[in-house]
Amino acid sequence: MSITLAGCSSDNDQSSSSNSSSSASTIVTSSQSSHHDTTKHEKKNEKKSSKHVNDSSKDLSKLNYKNNTSAVINVNGNHSNLKASDWKYNHVVYANLDSLNRTSAGNTAYLESRNVANDSLRTEQTVQPTGWHQKFVNRDAIINRGHEIAYSLSKGISVSGKYNPSLQSGDQNNLKNLFTQTAFSNQKLQTIYESKVRNALRDGKKVIFQVVPVFRGSELMARGVHLQALSTDGSLNFNVYIFNVQPGISFNYSDGTSKIDNSVTVPTPADAPSFNDHRSYGNSYDGNRSNYRRSYTHHYVRDAVIAGAVHHAIRRHYARKYTPRYHYYHRPYTYHRHYYRHYRF
C-alpha cells in the first residue's frame, strides 16, 4: 500500500509503504441470498476486512500532522484496496472492541440505496468512547461522537450488523461504531467522503465502505481515520486518511485531554460543507416557522450529534441573526408571552 505523504510526516520523518494494493473488480452481484449463505459470507467478509485494517493501520499510525497543510492524504493513490466482488448482501461487519475498549479494528459496510437514513429520526447519543473529554471553545464543542459507518448510511442496520426492514433509523448508540473524533475532522472532512457514498447509493449503486479509526500504540484517542469506498461498478473509488485534528486545539492522544493552542492551524478544504452561510443553505426566515425548522434540521444536523447545549446555541444564533420576529420580540426589558408560546427556537 503506497501512501501519499502530502502534509504529514512519520515518527522517523520518512514515508511508510507496503505492497498490498489490489485492483478494483467491477463485478455486480445480487443482494439476494439464503440465511445459510448469509452466515457463510459474513464470516468470510469479516476475515477479509480485518486483514485490510491491520495492513493499513500499522503504517498510518506513525504519521504526524504538520501545521497548515492538508489534513487529508491519499492512500494507495486514492484507490481502494477493497474488492467489488466481496459485495454479496446488505449488511455491516461491526468489529469487536479491542482490549482497551477501542474501535481499532474498524467496520466494513456493504450498502445499497435502502440504507440512506432520515435525519429526523435521530435521538440523543450518550455513549462515551475512549478518550472522551468534551470541551467548549467559544461555545462550540471541539469533539464529536464520530461514527465509523455514518448514521445517514445505516438505515435498517441492527447492532448485530444485519439488515432489518422494521428499523427506520440509522445507527446511533452503538459502542462498536463510535470513536472520539474532533468536530473539524468529522464535520469538515469525513462528511465530504460520506456524501460521496450517500450520492452513489441514491443513484442506485451498491457500495463497500470501510472506516478504521487509527490509534498509535495504547493511546485512547485516534490519531486519524482511514476511509475506503468502492462501488460494484467502479464509479466510486477512494482511499484516504484523515488526521484527527482541530484548529486552535492540541490533544494529548494518550487520554484525549486537550488545551487551547493557537499555533495549530488546519486549512479547510474548498469542498467542505459550510454551516454558517444561510444563503447557501436556505435558512432565511420566510414567515413560516416550520419551513425554517425543516431547513435548519436538514442542513445543520451532522452525522455525529453535537452536544445539546451547542446545538441550542447555534439555533438561537441563526434565529437572532435572520429572523425578523426575533428582533421584535426581544427588545430590551420587554416580555412578550406570544413569542414564548409560538416562536421559541
Residue 155 sits in a domain whose CATH number is 3.40.570.10
Pairwise CA distance, residues 295 & 299, whole Å: 6
Q: Are residues 317 and 231 in the same domain?
A: no
The predicted structure's pLDDT at residue 118? 82
Contact call for residues 142 and 313 (beta carbons, < 8 A): no
In a domain? residue 22: no
Place of cell 455486480: 28
Model pTM score: 0.68
Place of cell 467542505: 272
Q: DSSP assignment, residue 22?
A: -
The predicted structure's pLDDT at residue 121? 75
In a domain? residue 225: yes
Residue span of the structural domain in which 322 resides: 278-342
Q: Are residues 231 and 106 in the same domain?
A: yes
Q: For residue 77, with 0-12 CB atoms within 10 Å meaning exposed, 13-18 middle and 19 or more buried, which class applies? A: exposed
Q: Are residues 292 and 178 in the same domain?
A: no
Pairwise CA distance, residues 225 & 213, whole Å: 4
Pairwise CA distance, residues 143 & 152, whole Å: 19
Of the residues 260, 287, 310, which one is the last residue of a structural domain? 260
In a domain? residue 287: yes
The predicted structure's pLDDT at residue 56? 57
At residue 53, the 3 state secondary structure works out as helix
Q: Are residues 221 and 78 in the same domain?
A: yes
Phi, psi values for residue 213, rounded to 5°: -65, 135
In a domain? residue 17: no
Q: Are residues 202 and 318 in the same domain?
A: no
Instruction: Name the nearest CA neighbour of 266 among 75, 74, 66.
Output: 66
The predicted structure's pLDDT at residue 274? 73
The predicted structure's pLDDT at residue 221? 98
Q: What residue ranges of the chain have pLDDT lower than 50?
A: 1-2, 5-39, 41-42, 45-55, 276-311, 326, 332-345
- CA 204 to centroid of chain Cα atoms: 21
In a domain? residue 163: yes
In a domain? residue 289: yes
Q: Are residues 327 and 252 in the same domain?
A: no
In a domain? residue 132: yes
Helix, strand, coil percentages (3-state) for the chain, rounded to 5, are 30, 20, 50
The predicted structure's pLDDT at residue 124? 76
Instruction: Name the nearest CA neighbour of 22 among 46, 48, 4, 44.
Output: 48
The predicted structure's pLDDT at residue 267? 96
Instruction: Name the nearest CA neighbour of 240 among 196, 296, 180.
Output: 196
Q: Are residues 235 and 334 in the same domain?
A: no
Q: Are residues 289 and 150 in the same domain?
A: no
The predicted structure's pLDDT at residue 225? 98
Which residues are bridge partners to 141 per DSSP? Answer: 136
Q: Is 200 left (phi over 0), alpha (psi -120 to 50) or beta?
A: alpha
Q: Are residues 83 and 218 in the same domain?
A: yes
Q: Are residues 228 and 87 in the same domain?
A: yes
